[in-house]
Structure 1
């Protein structure tokens, strides 16, 4: 019987001049690459080797991030089924005027199923 684990990862990410354009906006491809990497963390334990390439993804920028912003990237395994694993990502930053968070980006990544060799450890008769 397979068990569904609610695996969750949080990571902080600081926007620097090196990953911003001349106006101080975070470059979207830099955020995408960071988010894609963090998305693998909740599913690493399900693979014997490296996590395979994504089979599907949705990535949406909601707001811009700027130099010196500290972003929180939250990755959560939301679905595990016969087709693979789905990891939901939300990137937020603290609002300066309140204790609330504002969403910078959201994403959903799909990873293909790869059975571990020891899950069905059956010997041939």
Structure 2
């Protein structure tokens, strides 16, 4: 097993909850959020593949809070481990807490992608 210990590859994406992705009560549809984080999970690992990123082989998804209309979410995707056969990406979705000035976790997920090809090595 090979673990990434140097520079962890991370991506931060902003996502605004609009009427198009919210229900009639103003809450974000969970399937929309899941689809978005599934796409964002591929961002930090694209350099490991010469073609398209393969389908997810396993995942865990936990939604702890609801997002509402006009919430500005931050989706953080980070490559946390590289195994011989799999890349592991952790996702954390947060929104600012207005009164406390901190971030509130909306959901978290971990995705596993098969490492079918050998990683592309960058020449320094």
Instruction: Using structure 1 for the length normalisation, give the TM-score.
Output: 0.89
Note closer, same or farther for the CA distance 1:71–1:117 as it changes in structure 2 (3 Å cut). closer
* 2:66 matches 1:68: no
Note the alpha carbon deviations across 1:3-37, whole angstroms, 9 max, x for none. 83510000000000110111000000000000000
Q: Is the 8 A contact 2:22 2:29 kept in 1?
A: yes
C-alpha RMSD over aligned residues: 1.7
Question: In 1, Cα distance between the equivalents of 2:109 and 2:120?
Answer: 31
Note the alpha carbon deviations across 1:41-73, whole angstroms, 9 max, x for none. 010000010000000011110000000000000
Note closer, same or farther for the CA distance 1:118–1:44 as it changes in structure 2 (3 Å cut). closer
Note the alpha carbon deviations across 1:55-110, whole angstroms, 9 max, x for none. 00111100000000000000000010112100000000000102210000000000
Note closer, same or farther for the CA distance 1:92–1:3 as it changes in structure 2 (3 Å cut). closer
Structure 1 residue 116, shift from structure 2 partner: 3.6
Question: In 1, Cα distance between the equivalents of 2:61 and 2:38?
Answer: 10
| Unaligned stretches of 5+ residues in structure 2 | none
Give the counterpart of 1:42 among 32, 41, 44. 44
